[in-house]
Amino acid sequence: MIFDLQVGLIGVGRLGQAIGRSFEYAYDRRLSVWSRRFAGNGGGAGEGEFDYKYPGLVSATLPYVADHEFLICAIPNWALAGVAHAHLHSFQRSSGLVFLTGADTPHPELATLLPNRTLVRVVPVILPGRSQFFFLACQPQAKSEIWRKGLAFLNTLGSVITVEGDEAFEELMIFTSPLATVIRVALATAIAEFLEARHANRRWQRIAEVIAAHSLSGHDFPIGLSNCVDHIATPGGITEAGLSESQALSQGVLAALHAMRNRADALGKVVTEIQTQTDLVRRTPR
């Protein structure tokens, strides 16, 4: 049964904390987590303790967390490779599935460091104001039973879209939280400037932002982005007037997408160079 799954977490950053809250909401129990914040720093929560700063989580040792059948890694993939290399026994004694949430390309040695694990890249999108996620997942080549169980687990935390192949995953991942954040910030700025130009009450800005966010969510009608005009716009209406200026908005979004893609490519090259240098150091005789 899904509710009997053994799940561990590595990392207590913003993503790790959000996963803890979502897990507790879905399963009514806390998620065991290991983090460097709890290890060897003389502060934070001790083993098995609860910390008010991390609801939904309980600290544990790395061997205990790594022993779980399902492991969520809420840290960069290069960092996971370093942790796994330093604690090989903890990671290699158990089998199961590892969810890689890092935006960076997985270290080529991860498959060797975690030989008994199925590695699945996922992008967890935190839905504002909720205890659920939306997931973009890269489907492994072999659709094994452990993958089917892992997919069922993700569905208990939110909805999941799966894609096949790293290339598709790399291209589509920027349309998740990165793009949504850029659009939210741009929209909030435009709303503030518009209301200021109209000499409107400043208290209206928050209301306007909430209205715009709900209008964009699509919960009121099951339509996508491309066919919304046919469902909403009235000939000669205010929507049509706004659409006459949409090309400039489209160009702005396109520029943001190119900037994010270029940065992702650059980060991938930097990580690759660091990995290559690290491999050379390891192989150099002493």
pLDDT recorded at residue 104:
81
Strand partners, 10: 34, 73
pLDDT recorded at residue 20:
93
pLDDT recorded at residue 7:
95
What's the CATH code, domain 2-164?
3.40.50.720
Angle between the N-to-C axes of helices 246-283 and 77-86, in degrees from 0 to 180, rounded to the nearest 10 = 20
Distance of CA 103 to the CA centre of its chain: 8
Question: How far apart (Å, rounded) are the C-alpha atoms in residues 27 and 25?
Answer: 6
Task: Kindly report, residue by residue over 228-282, the tens digit of the pLDDT.
Answer: 676 667 778 888 888 888 888 888 888 988 898 888 778 766 655 655 555 544 5
Matching residue, tokens 């659009």: 183
pLDDT recorded at residue 274:
54
Query: Nearest CA to 14 among 47, 54, 58, 44?
Result: 54
Where in the chain is CATH 3.40.50.720? 2-164
pLDDT recorded at residue 42:
41
pTM: 0.78
Burial class from Cβ neighbours inside 10 Å (0-12, 13-18, 19+) for residue 261 reads middle
On whether the CB atoms of residues 96 and 32 are closer than 8 A, the answer is no
pLDDT recorded at residue 163:
94
Question: How far apart (Å, rounded) are the C-alpha atoms in residues 165 and 101?
Answer: 16
pLDDT tens per residue, the chain (286 residues)?
A: 455 679 999 999 989 999 999 999 999 999 999 998 776 544 445 556 666 678 889 999 999 999 999 999 999 988 999 999 999 888 988 899 999 998 888 878 888 999 999 999 999 988 766 667 889 999 998 778 999 999 999 999 999 999 998 889 988 988 887 788 888 888 899 999 999 998 988 889 899 988 888 777 755 444 556 666 766 677 788 888 888 888 888 888 889 888 988 887 787 666 556 555 555 445 555 5
Residue 272 CB neighbours (<10 A): 15
pLDDT recorded at residue 44:
46
pLDDT recorded at residue 83:
93
